[in-house]
Amino acid sequence: MKRYHLTILFLLLFFGSVSAQIQYEPDVLGNGFLQTTIQQSADYEGEVVCTLIKKLCATGSTKAVLYVHGFNDYFFQEEMAAQFNSHGYNFYAIDLRKYGRSWRPYQKITDARDLSEYYADIDTALKIIQSEGNQTVLLSGHSTGGLTISLYAQAHQGSELFDALFMNSPFYNMNMGFLLRALGVPFISCQGKNHPNDTIHEKNNIGIYGSSLHKSAHGEWEFNTKWKQIISPEVNKGWIRAIHKGQVQARKGFEIDKPALVLHSSKSVYGNEWDKKFFEGDAVLNVKHIEKRANKIKGDCTVKSVGNGMHDLILSPKPVREMAYQIMFEWLDVKMK
């Protein structure tokens, strides 16, 4: 009994101290969004921060979601926050280290040498969310964020900081030919161990997906094109190694002890010139790869496709994203009562 009381006291002191240190300020999005910058331990490029953004339910709630963005991305999806708020969830998002609000000029934007580098950012965010009175938390991730939270959930089985996972088109495999996947990527990954800063020069990154999203081209969304570039930034061998290591685990099959939902588009689309078909499929990943590896997840995992979804399902044309929201919230009504 004495040990029990000491444990409760420790948790109260810990979460109390976390909450006391957090100071929010208005976010760049305005419209009631707040943000706080969190100092993390320095790494191979120097000082590191992550940024937590939030918008709370107007009616008050003890349910919350933490959204983790993907590669070449940051949080800007106000509509997604509004959807969660309207369904009774306090909304939180994190701009991971070296992304978006957290990127610093001395850092290579998006750089990572192991996806576990992001665990500290996610840990800190989840502890803050719990300290602010949230009792039930959904951990949500898109693309590389979906791969990252899958790895995080496997490494944190039994955690009381989150209760379910939602993966939106997770980056479980490279979208390239078999020989490149089987031989080329492992070779570059091996080089990345000792030469992480060597750049990979991509010849086919022509920005079709980015131009399908941004208002300045063919899309309906407004976002900061320095933080989410129309043509994705070049990556280095260290980043390839980080992704490859995560995808090796995806091939083996994740072990996740919380309910999980994986959504992906019904088809992939390809081409070197922009066409309306890019509004109707995943132009980034091979959806068959996602489905195959998602179905290897060990645990309570639901895998569904969304007809004509783009890579980021919640940035798809309105009828498609409404269907994605419907599937997700119906699933949440069952899994997170």
Residue 11 has pLDDT above 70, yes or no: no
Question: What is residue 204's predicted lDDT score, i.e. its pLDDT?
Answer: 57
Tell me the per-residue pLDDT of 116-126, one tens digit each, with 9 for 90 and over: 999 999 999 99
Taking residues 273-297, report their average pLDDT. 96
Q: What is the mean pLDDT of residues 193-221?
A: 89
| Predicted local distance difference test score (pLDDT) of residue 2 | 38
The residue-averaged pLDDT of 219-233 equals 96
Phi-psi region of 11 (alpha: psi -120 to 50; beta: other; left: phi over 0): alpha
| Among 48-52, 60-64, 242-246, the least confident range | 60-64
Q: Is 80 exceeded by the pLDDT of residue 19? A: no
14 pLDDT higher than 60: no
- Determine phi and psi for 298, rounding to 5 degrees: -90, 120
Q: What is the mean pLDDT of residues 130-141?
A: 97
**Mean pLDDT across the chain:** 93
What pLDDT, on a 0 to 100 scale, did the predictor assign at position 6?
A: 43
State mean pLDDT over 239-251: 98
| In the predicted structure, residue 302 carries a pLDDT above the cut 70 | yes
Confidence of residue 43 (pLDDT cuts 50, 70, 90): very high
Query: What pLDDT is attached to residue 217?
Result: 93
- Give the model's confidence band at 60: pLDDT under 50 very low, under 70 low, under 90 confident, else very high: confident
Has residue 243 got a pLDDT over 80?
Answer: yes
How does pLDDT run across 92-106, given as a tens digit for each residue?
Answer: 999 999 999 999 999
Q: Is the pLDDT score of 85 beyond 90?
A: yes
Binned at pLDDT 50, 70 and 90, residue 205 comes out as low
Whole-angstrom distance, CA of residue 63 vs CA of residue 229: 33
The pLDDT > 70 percentage for the chain reads 93
DSSP string for residues in 61-121: -SEEEEEE--TT-----HHHHHHHHHTT-EEEEEE-TTSGGG--TTS-TT--S-GGGGHHH
In this predicted structure, what is the pLDDT of residue 239? 97
- Where are the extended beta strands (E) located within the chain? 25-26, 34-43, 46-55, 63-68, 90-95, 136-142, 164-168, 199-200, 235-236, 260-265, 301-306
Decide: helix, strand or coil at residue 168.
strand
Q: Which residue has the tokens 């580098």?
A: 117
At residue 3 the predicted structure's pLDDT band, cuts being 50, 70 and 90, is very low
pLDDT at res. 310: 98
Burial 12-28 (b: 16+ CB within 10 A, else e): eeebeeeeeeeeeeebe
Better pLDDT: 117 or 16: 117
Sign of CA dihedral 154, 156, 158, 160: negative
- Three-state DSSP state, 330: helix
Q: Percent of the chain having pLDDT more than 90?
A: 89
- The pLDDT of residue 136 is 97
Question: What does the alpha-carbon distance between residue 75 and residue 100 come to, in Å, rounded to a whole number?
Answer: 8
Whether 205 and 230 have beta carbons less than 8 Å apart is answered as: no
Res 322: pLDDT: 98
Least confident of 20-34, 101-115, 294-308: 20-34
**What domains can be seen in the chain, in order of their start residue?**
2-335 (3.40.50.1820)
